[in-house]
Structure 1
């Protein structure tokens, strides 16, 4: 039986109010984790909950979703997995997986290289057919189709005991659509009745945390799989199902799943209080807060932080409906190593030296939005240390940056294109960054994208020179931060750059990742990861900007409003209800 490691929790709790586990890619308007509760409370079922979102959700496919907000929203409503994180504001409770679709939290052998789970009886898909061991096996197989199932977490590609193709550096199994290497996958993932067993090539003691934090191991019905066309389809085994089709630009509505059996679930995971949950996409942050402050939609919640210009309006009774929570996310910049100009280390170094993260954080919203970061790893994560490459001034030094370019013989101005997810607030912080960059000898073009941001920056042929990113640990270890972001082997494929948006490719870094992954204890793992982070700083593979916070408001008829570690600081749909 899996039990959360006390040592990890103690180290995490010492540096944060609450550490978010299922963090992953950060949303463009604010992400986070922490504790927040507000009255009124009620366990009554009924009512219609409205959830405001600004930009479209990029993936609803369980094997592809990789934004913390969306991961937890789907976990509480339509997708169940073997184990899950419970609803709690006690970090030790919230960060300890409990059984969900499995009968318990798993059994490991061979020092953590083999894990087995037994699937519960009586769990059904929305069409009434049972959820089977084979569904779990098929779901795991989809991640290996790296030309189709793109954008999602890829840990399983490195861990599952499948040989590597020497030509591609990727697993010799290429997923269920080609069938190439299927026999290799069938040996690595086996079904014996209701029991599924995963065989890994190295110990994975935190595997239950990975299952609870992500959807990559979710079951998937083979007859429902349409590859890339499944990206906006939901086939539910949870308390809700999608009513009709999902509209990428408008959203969709979840209604009760008639084939959901509450007796197979637990209220510590899903209370399923609202009768319906409508996701409404398209309102700008400003539009959302005009409505939330006026309480136009008293049944509304949001996944967007308060725009700084609205802070002064959050007072009196309105402030009683607000919450400020800590975040597991770090916002950062990544140079594109495929860009001819960014291949020059002097250019990357000058960019880092002239980056004004103080101005970025002021434009982001000041103390209610975040503080300057000294690493891409959050202080809430085991293995955190300030990266020496970024431990100086946070205000940027254009003159020093200009000297770096001059000494390297770089012709100025250096033209660069900065791609970021646009909004009124984002346009302000982008302009703040541009100011000191231009003073340093750059000529910056601001490229604000309003739609499918991550899909664009994951494309290998993008023309961006520098990009914005947001990330949080998938579980509380730095091994879920720097390796998934910068290990080129599982990330860089012909179809996608994965989470390695800047196409960073370093054999030295990858070797340190392997050393950490195969470490015999947490201290050795941490040491290797800290060396890896220092190397990233030396290469300027990223530039840290902000450790973020969330400042949010909700409608007056929303009950049990809470943000838990499991929800990454977003509203936890497992607990929230609405007065009917």
Structure 2
């Protein structure tokens, strides 16, 4: 399987949040719940669960006889240990904020409360996992398919410390077990015979190849070296659908490709007028239809259209005609003190890949008439996102592919600390998001989230470029691959021809 990058780690607490990392970890770990071949929630390590009438207590009943891949028993204690590890400030997990709905999680992560005060308990001699939330959180169950919810083998961590997730040491509870990892080259796994549903897993193993060069990935697929290639370039869709019609998959998905602005003091885009001008000048229709050949749709919102029970809000000005937008953009730049005679010098960062480069080159040309001189800088995906999290950028390419069908999944990008790359801070926005998290009435909740999205987009902390369609090359002989809006797939469901 060709994936879009090399995982930063195989530890659920150390990944950066890349889709390619979730692809791998979904195959080697399993949380209380899992996904079926259609991306729908099903029982995972827990065979059943109950939610209290007040919506704040989740009780998961674990399966009998659960084991780690090394044969050690797996109990609710391993989940408690993992969740404490995620929110421990010493861990510096990029996923800690996902547990903030849990009692005391945020205070622990801030260093204000002890680890053992986390609202997670192991009951019934490790057979039951109980999670207590601060308030009813309607989307919480959906998030438990994500890496932050996976257990961690304490007995392995105790023995090997930070090296516990090396393939030579790691113990996992998913369908496959890592056995060899050559960084940026190959990650090899074999079937985990101790997985609770191992009898229904067809594959003997999965090998993952990090391929940031998607054109090289296409060549390897055509040569029969790959059974699946995740995320081929959008511009290649017309050619691939003609030449490989049965293998070429294109399916509407919940994801947004965007440029994020660094709002920290001293940044050249800390001035809102500059950010608005840069947003207005981007011709998203040209990028979608001409550059990417219709494989995507132009985006005007952060939350993509098609998100359940939600009407996306457009960034101000993006629905106006292009002439009006350019006139306003030039006026804003002049007000900010920039123009052809006094250019603004910007560095635009993107992770390696022909598509990202093509978009960056096109956007730089669109900004040129505003008096903006752009230096392009690309790095490998791991380096790129590590730098974004450190705030080491001015303007940068980013993206978010939803892991659960809820607008909150996108709104948290501007309220959480981890993926809020530009350091956007708006108390009114945060309050609206917090209120929406606890609101049980779907219509009222949607209204709160729409207010939040509209408020943030008017501040231009980022600007959307296009909404995703999932693009995958899949050997037509493969069974068990089902396209879905979340583009989430677990290899346990895949079958190869004899």
Q: Flag whether TM exceeds 0.5 (same fold).
A: yes
Q: 1:359 to 1:453 in 2, by over 3 A?
A: farther
Partner in structure 2 of residue 565 of structure 1? 484
Partner in structure 1 of residue 124 of structure 2? 192
**2: distance between equivalents of 1:373 and 1:451?**
23
User: After superposition, what is the alpha-carbon deviation per residue over 1:364-415, rounded to whole angstroms, capped at 9, x for unaligned?
Assistant: 5222x20101201011213232325154248584443121111243473111
Q: 1:385 to 1:261 in 2, by over 3 A?
A: closer
Q: 1:395 to 1:573 in 2, by over 3 A?
A: farther
**1: distance between equivalents of 2:130 and 2:28?**
24
**Native 8 Å contact 2:218 2:229 kept in 1:** no
Partner in structure 1 of residue 42 of structure 2? 98
For the aligned residue pairs, the C-alpha RMSD in angstroms reads 2.7
Partner in structure 1 of residue 303 of structure 2? 377
**1: distance between equivalents of 2:51 and 2:221?**
48
Secondary structure class of the residue paired with 2:149: coil
Query: Is structure 2 residue 147 aligned with structure 1 residue 218?
Result: no
Secondary structure class of the residue paired with 2:419: coil
TM-score, length-normalised on structure 1? 0.77
Q: Number of aligned pairs?
A: 487
Secondary structure class of the residue paired with 2:252: strand
User: After superposition, what is the alpha-carbon deviation per residue over 1:224-272, rounded to whole angstroms, capped at 9, x for unaligned?
Assistant: 236654566552112321113x22211211112243343xx6x8xxx42
Partner in structure 2 of residue 240 of structure 1? 176
Q: 1:228 to 1:303 in 2, by over 3 A?
A: farther
1:108-119 residue pairs with structure 2 within 5 A?
Answer: 108-109=51-52, 111-119=54-62
Deviation at 1:146, TM superposition (A): 3.9
1:319 aligns with one of 245, 260, 283 = 245
**2: distance between equivalents of 1:232 and 1:506?**
40
Deviation at 1:518, TM superposition (A): 2.5
Q: 1:228 to 1:152 in 2, by over 3 A?
A: farther
**1: distance between equivalents of 2:429 and 2:172?**
40
Query: Is structure 2 residue 403 aligned with structure 1 residue 474?
Result: yes
Partner in structure 2 of residue 335 of structure 1? 261
Query: Is structure 2 residue 137 aligned with structure 1 residue 204?
Result: yes
Q: 525-534 vs 407-416, which deviates more?
A: 407-416
Query: Is structure 2 residue 445 aligned with structure 1 residue 525?
Result: yes
User: After superposition, what is the alpha-carbon deviation per residue over 1:267-302, rounded to whole angstroms, capped at 9, x for unaligned?
Assistant: 8xxx42222211122472111212323x433x5211
**Native 8 Å contact 1:81 1:100 kept in 2:** yes
Q: 1:164 to 1:308 in 2, by over 3 A?
A: closer
Secondary structure class of the residue paired with 2:182: coil
Structure 2 residues without counterparts, runs of 5 or longer: none
Q: 1:313 to 1:476 in 2, by over 3 A?
A: closer
Secondary structure class of the residue paired with 1:578: coil
2:459 aligns with one of 531, 539, 544 = 539
TM-score, length-normalised on structure 2? 0.89
Deviation at 1:563, TM superposition (A): 3.2
Secondary structure class of the residue paired with 1:385: coil
Q: 140-149 vs 328-337, which deviates more?
A: 140-149
Q: 1:311 to 1:388 in 2, by over 3 A?
A: closer
Q: 1:108 to 1:359 in 2, by over 3 A?
A: same
- Greater RCO (Cα-Cα under 8 Å, separation 6 or more): 1
Secondary structure class of the residue paired with 2:216: helix
User: After superposition, what is the alpha-carbon deviation per residue over 1:481-500, rounded to whole angstroms, capped at 9, x for unaligned?
Assistant: 11x2011xx41xxxxxx100
Deviation at 1:221, TM superposition (A): 1.4
**1: distance between equivalents of 2:60 and 2:237?**
49
**Native 8 Å contact 2:28 2:173 kept in 1:** yes
Deviation at 1:507, TM superposition (A): 1.3
Partner in structure 2 of residue 516 of structure 1? 436
Secondary structure class of the residue paired with 1:389: coil
Q: 1:216 to 1:283 in 2, by over 3 A?
A: closer
**Native 8 Å contact 2:89 2:109 kept in 1:** no
**2: distance between equivalents of 1:184 and 1:235?**
27
Q: 1:422 to 1:360 in 2, by over 3 A?
A: farther
User: After superposition, what is the alpha-carbon deviation per residue over 1:527-553, rounded to whole angstroms, capped at 9, x for unaligned?
Assistant: 111111111111101101101113332
1:400 aligns with one of 328, 331, 338 = 328
Deviation at 1:362, TM superposition (A): 3.9
